[in-house]
Amino acid sequence: MIIRTISNLLVALFATTLVATAAVAQTEATQPAPGASGVGETGSSAYILGRDDVVQVGLLGRNDFGGRARVQADGTIQLNFIGKIPAAERTTSELADDIRAALTKGGYFADPVVTIEVVGYASRYVTVLGAVGQPGLVPINRPYRMSEIIARVGGVRESAADYLVIRHEKGDETRLFIRDLSTGDVTKDPLVQPGDKIFAPIADTFYIYGQVNSPGVFPLTSNMTLRMAIGRAGGLTQSGSEKKVTVTRGGKKVKVGIDEPVQAGDVIVFGERLF
C-alpha cells in the first residue's frame, strides 16, 4: 500500500512538472523576442542596393518564403507570393520593411520578421590599382575610410610613392598623402565613394653617390630637399662635404642649394673636403 501511494505521488509530480514546462514554453513562444521590431537583418542596414547585387531573403522561423534574388536592370527583385518589388536605391532595412508590408497586406503572414543578407556585392565598389598588395575591386558594403580600403588591399608596397591619386566618378581628382591617413584626423582620411578609382603610383627615384655612407638609388618623397637626401643616404662620410656636390639633371649639371628640392632622376655626387 505504501509503495503504491509513493508511486502515485511520483506520477502526479511528474505530470505537474510537464504541465508547468509546457505553459512556460507557450508563454515564451507567444511573447516577442527582446528588441524584435518585425525586421531582422544579417547584413549592413546602411548598404544601398543596386543593379546585379544579390540578396538572400527569408522569414524568421519559416522556410516557405524567400531565397536568393538578383537586382534586375529595372531595379526590382522577384519573390514568390508578392512578385516584383523595387530594390535598387533601397537599403536592406528599407527593402525588408517593404517586403514585410507587402506580405502583411496580401494576407500571407500576420506579422512576418523579414531577414535580408547581401550575398553578392556588384553595384557599389571602388577600384584600387598600382603599387598595393592586392589590386582589384573592393565592395563598399558600408561607409569606408581611405585607410580601411588601403588596409583591405594589403597596404602599399615599399616601391610606392608617398601619396595616392583618387579619381572620382564625376572626373575630379585629388591626392592624399599616405602618412596623413594614420594621424586620426578624419579630415585627412575621407570616406570613399562608390565608383572611386584609387591609384598608388610607383615612386620616382634619385641617385646619390660619392662621400655618403649608403650610396644608391632611393625613392623620392614629396618636397624632399638635398639635405633630406643626404639623410636618406645615411649622412656624409667623415671626409664628405656639403659644398662639394654636383647634381646632374636631364643630362646637364645644375646648381642646387642644400635646402632646395630634389627632382626625379637627379644624380647627386658628394665630393671630399680639401682638408
Examine residue 150 and state whether it is found in any structural domain, yes or no. Answer: yes
Mean pLDDT of the chain: 84
Examine residue 215 and state whether it is found in any structural domain, yes or no. Answer: yes
Give the residue numbers spanning the domain of 149: 125-200
Residue 18 scores a pLDDT above 70? no
Examine residue 162 and state whether it is found in any structural domain, yes or no. Answer: yes
Point out the domain boundary residue: 66, 93, 120: 120
- CATH number of the domain encompassing residue 179: 3.10.560.10
Point out the domain boundary residue: 176, 200, 224: 200
Q: What confidence tier does 27 reach under pLDDT thresholds 50, 70, 90?
A: very low
Number of domains the chain contains? 3
Examine residue 156 and state whether it is found in any structural domain, yes or no. Answer: yes
Task: Tell me which residue of 194, 275, 191, 189 sits closest to 239, measured CA to CA.
Answer: 275
> Alpha-carbon distance 209 to 216, whole Å?
6
The beta-strand segments (E) located in the chain are: 39-41, 54-59, 62-70, 76-79, 83-86, 114-120, 125-130, 136-139, 163-167, 173-177, 197-200, 205-210, 216-219, 240-249, 252-254, 267-272
Q: What confidence tier does 36 reach under pLDDT thresholds 50, 70, 90?
A: very low
Query: Quick one: pLDDT at residue 275?
Result: 67
- CATH number of the domain encompassing residue 60: 3.30.1950.10
Whether 216 and 255 share a structural domain? yes
Examine residue 54 and state whether it is found in any structural domain, yes or no. Answer: yes
Residue 14 scores a pLDDT above 60? no
Point out the domain boundary residue: 120, 149, 183: 120
Query: Quick one: pLDDT at residue 169?
Result: 87
What pTM value is reported for the model? 0.66
Query: Quick one: pLDDT at residue 140?
Result: 87
Residue 103 CB-density burial (10 A; 0-12 exposed, 13-18 middle, 19+ buried): buried
Encode pLDDT of 117-158 as tens digits.
Answer: 999 888 889 999 999 999 999 988 888 999 999 999 999 999
- Dihedral of the CA atoms 3, 8, 12, 18 (nearest 10)? 80
Examine residue 9 and state whether it is found in any structural domain, yes or no. Answer: no
Residue 9 scores a pLDDT above 70? no
